[in-house]
Amino acid sequence: MTERINVDDVTTERALDLYREMLRIRRFEDRVYQLFLQGELPGTLHQYQGQEAVAVGACQALNDGDWITSTHRPHGHALAKGVTVRSAMAELYGKATGCCGGKGGSMHLGDPDVGMIPAIAIVAGGVSVVSGMGLAFKMQRNGHVALCFFGDGASNEGAFHEGLNFAAVQKLPIVYVCENNMYGASTPFTATSLVPNVADRVAGYGIPAVIVDGMDVLAIHDAVSEARQRAAAGDGPTLIEAKTYRFAGHSRGDARGYRSRDEEAEWKEKDPLVRLEYSLLNAGRAQESTFARILDEVNTELEDAVEFSRQSPDPRPEDALTDAYATPIGTGTHS
């Protein structure tokens, strides 16, 4: 049975916007998976289906000028932060029109124009780096906030503990969003921690930690808004632990033998898209046709992005040799 979420405090227009944002990610991921299986996309994929509410709720709570860091699973974060579907898709195709010009790829999506550094595929890498982003904002007194997405598994890295403690002591304007999807690759979080929540670990650093329903976009949005305010006011970082689930395997070709189909089915019941749709329908706030129309529009946007990517030029081979330094330094004999 689908569990309703509280939609009383949000306008219908806003709720439908959030729905559309989540659906765009869901359909992007589904489409990308097909393209991958068809051999159109190189490399590997870490997919985001199931976790859409976290990226969308969090990014919608940010202001212009705020930045995010992301992980090896960045597609949802990128789209939610405003990387265009075209430039994200083209990047997965390795095309010159991609958001990183074909140099980054799936694990490094990002675009400074929308406030997202290239996603960091080293687990917990973002937790280190975000300290400096927050530090810069504090020194620049610009009121901006940095938001760091990371997984449950990342909380086992030294970088997590050093980064959090430093940011706490310095009262940096940072919001940490931990997406606890219960697994780091094949390893259950519970096999790696004697405390059940990532939030429990944060007590040692003297900053607030909030656990939220990661399948409820509105709950995430509210929690992040509050944390953002606190950060911007100079009161320091907050950690938000979103309890969520990835519907797909860890990466392509993961047969998910380490978790049960029952557990998966249980979490599918909490699908953040279905829940929002169901709650709005139930409250008489939207019609089935509204959702059908949004789906149509999102699909059109996606097909446009696929076509755009297919038509886009490859990078030129010589582009491989630029961008390592601000000014080329000329290193030795190359052939």
Partner 1 sequence: MNNNASPTNTDERRLTIAEALREAIAQEMERDPRVFLIGEDIGIPGGFGGAFGVYLGLPEKFGHERIIDTPISEKAIAGAAVGAALMGMRPIPDMQYSDFLFECMDELVNQAAKMRYMSGGKLSVPLVMRCPVGTANRGAQHGQCPESYFIHVPGIKVVAPSDAYVAKGIMTAAIRDDDPVLVFEHKLLYGSKGREQAGGLDLTAHVPEGDYVFPIGRGLIKREGHHVTVVATHLTLYRCLAAAAELALEGIEVEVIDPVSLQPFDTDLIFSSVEKTGRLLIAHEDTLTGGWGAELAARVADDCVYSLEAPIKRVAAHDVPLPVAPILEQTVVPSQERITREIRALCAM
Ligand X SMILES: Cc1ncc(C[n+]2csc(CCOP(=O)(O)OP(=O)(O)O)c2C)c(N)n1
Stretch that binds Mg ion, among 24-32, 62-70, 182-190, 227-235 (CB under 5 A): 182-190
Q: Which does 73 bind (CB under 5 to 8 A by kind): partner 1, ligand X, Mg ion, none?
A: ligand X
Amino acid found at 87: S
> Going residue by residue from 106 to 135, which x/- string records binding to partner 1, judged by CB under 8 A?
xxx-----------xxxxx-----------
* Tokens of residue 218, six digits: 């509105």
Stretch that binds ligand X, among 62-70, 115-123, 137-145, 162-170 (CB under 6 A): 115-123
* Binding test (CB under 8 A) with partner 1, winner from 104, 163, 214, 236: 104
Q: Does 258 bind partner 1 (CB under 8 A)?
A: yes
Residue nearest to ligand X (CB): 151
Residue in the structure block whose two tokens are 């392509």: 252
Amino acid found at 120: I
> Going residue by residue from 117 to 136, which x/- string records binding to ligand X, judged by CB under 6 A?
----xxx-------------
What are 250-259's contacts with CB under 8 Å, separation 24+?
250/46, 250/183, 250/185, 250/186, 251/44, 251/45, 251/46, 252/33, 252/36, 252/44, 252/45, 254/186, 257/186, 258/183, 258/186, 258/187, 258/188, 259/183, 259/188
100 or 298: CB nearest partner 1: 100
Instruction: Tell which residue, 103, 128, 100, has the closest CA to residue 114.
Output: 100
d(CA 239, CA 130): 13
Q: Which does 103 bind (CB under 5 to 8 A by kind): Mg ion, partner 1, ligand X, none?
A: partner 1
Q: Does 315 bind partner 1 (CB under 8 A)?
A: yes
Stretch that binds Mg ion, among 45-53, 180-188, 227-235, 259-267 (CB under 5 A): 180-188
Q: Does 151 bind ligand X (CB under 6 A)?
A: yes
The H helix count followed by the E strand count for the chain is 11, 7
Instruction: Tell which residue, 297, 334, 321, 335, has the closest CA to residue 85.
Output: 297
Closest contact distance (angstroms) between CB of 94 and partner 1 is 3
Q: Does 184 bind ligand X (CB under 6 A)?
A: yes
116 or 154: CB nearest ligand X: 154
**150 contacts 72 by C-beta, under 8 angstroms:** no
d(CA 291, CA 277): 8
Enumerate the β-bridge partners of residue 227. none
Compute the half-sphere exposure of residue 316: CA atoms within 13 Å on the CB side of its CA: 4
151 or 163: CB nearest Mg ion: 151
**Binding-residue total with partner 1 (CB under 8 A):** 49
Amino acid found at 150: F
Q: Does 323 bind partner 1 (CB under 8 A)?
A: yes
Binding site for ligand X (CB under 6 A): 72-73, 121-123, 151-154, 181, 183-185, 250
Binding site for partner 1 (CB under 8 A): 42-44, 94-95, 98, 102-108, 120-124, 153-154, 156-158, 184-187, 191-193, 254, 256-259, 314-315, 317-321, 323-324, 331-335
